[in-house]
């Protein structure tokens, strides 16, 4: 289990002369960290002995990134996603993310708390702090009570899948039960919104026609089926009076459904991910089987959807950017070399969320630094009950800081990634801006390219209801 003791061995850290940027504004300030917390924020803080000094002159200082959608060591389609909690959270640190939220996926018939304890054992390897969402993969007599217990264990957010009904997905009647129970508990329902039955129909039809290549994955899950499911579940949540959060929004149809729900006064929110902002459907036409690296669900869309998503994160229709980090090596993707339906779905991304958003959002002039911090740190912390402990630079908050060198540049490659994955869906992407120093829970975990992570130093973060 995660350690309850303090593992600090220096007297603290002071980050000096940086431009501190939060979701609310920016100011030149020093930040002092001790015993895992921010203890002082101000100008020209005095020097103390036994303290590690970080000179952030000419750089930005952000609250550490919060990625609320990752899947470490997740069993999928006969294999397991290739980053475990240690390697995946190490990659997170390398890219400036200091908190992740993963999932508990009970087997059908398995008790939620038993599944939670098993997941805690796996997650205890984490080098960053972590929270967990509870996936409601089945509904039975005790499920409502089990949801209440999950809230007490710090998981006031419940994932439901409208697709994958053979394994984890729920039919609408059970989705409505989850929505109604979550409303009673003041909890949030998180949804993977695609029309599962129609996708199954299209997958079987394409396969029966001998169409087996990775591009068929995209063609079997068109944006209309994501838009329909988003509209349907938003309507169910709105009329049930429940709060809803739509993961990995990829397309115009879903953005329009979320906007319509918000205009109806419903408590409906959404995220997108860098791969949907930056890649287009032609990735599936890569030579040979290489398109399999991009097999994720929902799939990468035709390019006309990208600008809709950029507009949505700029104007707030979509409130944050997560990754859906779920890597598989090519040897694992090869399970589906003769049949796209057997390719494990997922790709690596937790390391590059900040640099891609900074490059294509801030440096490209789409939005300001404050909006960037909101998208990658503050809003995820608020939505999932971690704010202001995470997502802020204030006295008393956890000392999770990113010193960001906006002048640095790099080229993304699987060869240099910290992800445990032999393909990068962003291979060759140039990025400007990188973390030069990362402080997590008051410890310097990255400095000038050197990682100083410690297996098991991450703590489980119980999260509170209604913190937004
Ligand atoms: Mn996911």
Could you tell me the CATH number of the domain that includes residue 307?
3.20.20.140
* CA 71 – ligand 1 centroid, Å: 7
396 within domain boundaries: no
CA dihedral of residues 309, 313, 314, 317 (deg, nearest 10):
100
Q: CA-CA distance, 73 to 88, in Å (whole number)?
A: 9
Which single residue is written with the structure tokens 């550490």? 64
Q: CA-CA distance, 405 to 58, in Å (whole number)?
A: 8
451 within domain boundaries: no
Give the global pTM.
0.97
* CA 78 – ligand 1 centroid, Å: 17
* CA 397 – ligand 1 centroid, Å: 28
45 within domain boundaries: no
230 within domain boundaries: yes
255 within domain boundaries: yes
* CA 324 – ligand 1 centroid, Å: 5
* CA 448 – ligand 1 centroid, Å: 32
* CA 298 – ligand 1 centroid, Å: 9
**Residues 6+ positions from 27 with CB-CB distance below 8 Å:** 19, 20
- Find the domain containing 207 and state its range: 65-383
Instruction: Please answer whether residues 178 and 160 qualify as being in contact, where contact means their C-beta atoms are separated by less than 8 angstroms.
Output: yes
The protein residues having their C-beta less than 5 angstroms from ligand 1 (an ion) are 324
* CA 69 – ligand 1 centroid, Å: 6
* CA 93 – ligand 1 centroid, Å: 20
**Residues 6+ positions from 256 with CB-CB distance below 8 Å:** 227
Instruction: Please answer whether residues 172 and 298 qualify as being in contact, where contact means their C-beta atoms are separated by less than 8 angstroms.
Output: no
* CA 47 – ligand 1 centroid, Å: 45
**Residues 6+ positions from 136 with CB-CB distance below 8 Å:** 143, 147, 158, 159, 160, 170, 174, 178
Which single residue is written with the structure tokens 């026609």? 209
**Residues 6+ positions from 52 with CB-CB distance below 8 Å:** 10, 12, 13, 14, 444
205 within domain boundaries: yes
> Going residue by residue through the chain (468 aa), what tens digit of pLDDT does each one get?
344 444 445 589 999 999 999 999 999 999 999 999 999 999 999 999 889 999 999 999 999 999 999 999 999 988 999 999 999 999 999 999 999 999 999 999 999 999 999 999 999 999 999 999 999 999 999 999 999 999 999 999 999 999 999 999 999 999 999 999 999 999 999 999 999 999 999 999 999 999 999 999 999 999 999 999 999 999 999 999 999 999 999 999 999 999 999 999 999 999 999 999 999 999 999 989 999 999 999 999 999 999 999 999 999 999 999 999 999 999 999 999 999 999 999 999 999 999 999 999 999 999 999 999 999 999 999 999 999 999 999 999 999 999 999 999 999 999 999 999 999 999 999 999 999 999 999 999 999 899 999 999 999 999 997 644
* CA 185 – ligand 1 centroid, Å: 24
Give how many domains the chain has, as a whole number: 1
Q: CA-CA distance, 226 to 147, in Å (whole number)?
A: 26
15 within domain boundaries: no
Q: CA-CA distance, 147 to 139, in Å (whole number)?
A: 10
Secondary structure letter of residue 378 according to DSSP: I
Both tokens assigned to 445: 């975990």
Q: Write the burial class of residue 63 (CB in 10 Å: 0-12 exposed, 13-18 middle, 19+ buried).
A: buried
* CA 9 – ligand 1 centroid, Å: 36
* CA 6 – ligand 1 centroid, Å: 32
Phi, psi torsion values for 231, nearest 5 degrees: -60, -45
Alpha helices (runs of H) in 292-434, residue ranges in sequence order: 304-315, 330-333, 353-357, 369-373, 379-383
What is the chain's alpha carbon radius of gyration, rounded to the nearest angstrom?
21
């Amino acid at each position: 289990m995660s350690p309850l003791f303090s593992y600090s061995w220096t007297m603290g850290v002071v980050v000096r002369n940086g431009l501190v940027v939060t979701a609310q504004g920016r100011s030149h300030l020093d930040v002092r960290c001790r015993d895992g917390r921010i203890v002082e924020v101000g100008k020209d803080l005095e020097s103390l002995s036994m303290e590690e000094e970080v000179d952030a002159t000419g750089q930005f200082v952000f609250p550490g990134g919060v990625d609320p959608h990752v899947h470490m060591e997740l069993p999928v389609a006969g294999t397991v996603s290739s980053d475990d909690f240690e390697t995946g959270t190490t990659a997170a640190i390398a890219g400036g993310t200091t908190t992740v939220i993963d999932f508990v996926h009970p087997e059908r018939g398995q008790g939620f708390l038993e599944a939670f304890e098993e997941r805690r054992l796996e997650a205890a390897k984490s080098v960053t702090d972590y929270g967990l969402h509870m996936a409601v993969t089945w509904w039975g007599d005790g499920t409502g009570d089990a949801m209440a217990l999950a809230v007490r264990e710090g998981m006031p957010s419940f994932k439901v899948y409208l697709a994958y009904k053979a394994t984890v997905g729920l039919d609408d009647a059970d989705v409505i039960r989850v929505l109604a129970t979550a409303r009673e508990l003041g909890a949030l329902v998180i949804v993977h919104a695609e029309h599962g039955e129609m996708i199954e129909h299209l997958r079987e039809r394409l396969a029966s026609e001998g169409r087996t290549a990775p591009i068929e994955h995209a063609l079997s899950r068109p944006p209309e089926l994501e838009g329909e499911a988003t509209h349907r579940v938003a309507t169910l949540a709105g009329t049930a009076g429940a709060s809803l959060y739509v993961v990995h929004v990829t397309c115009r149809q879903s953005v329009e459904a979320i906007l319509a729900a918000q205009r109806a006064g419903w408590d409906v929110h959404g995220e997108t991910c860098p791969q949907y902002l930056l890649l287009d459907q032609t990735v599936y036409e890569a030579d040979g089987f290489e398109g399999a690296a991009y097999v994720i669900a929902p799939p990468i869309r035709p390019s006309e959807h990208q600008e809709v998503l950029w507009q949505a994160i700029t104007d707030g229709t979509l409130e944050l950017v997560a990754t859906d980090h779920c890597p598989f090596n090519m040897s694992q993707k090869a399970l589906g070399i003769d049949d796209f339906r057997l390719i494990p779905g997922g790709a690596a991304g937790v390391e590059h969320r900040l640099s891609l958003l900074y490059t294509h959002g801030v440096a490209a002039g789409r939005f300001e630094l404050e909006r960037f911090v909101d998208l990658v740190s503050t809003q995820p912390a608020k939505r999932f009950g971690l704010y202001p402990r995470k997502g802020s630079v204030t006295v008393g908050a956890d000392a999770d800081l990113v010193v960001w060198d906006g002048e640095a540049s790099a080229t993304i490659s699987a060869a240099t990634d910290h992800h445990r994955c032999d393909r990068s869906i962003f291979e060759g992407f140039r990025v400007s801006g990188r973390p030069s120093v990362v402080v997590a829970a008051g410890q310097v975990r990255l400095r000038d390219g050197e990682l100083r992570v410690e297996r098991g130093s991450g703590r489980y973060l119980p999260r509170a209801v209604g913190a937004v």
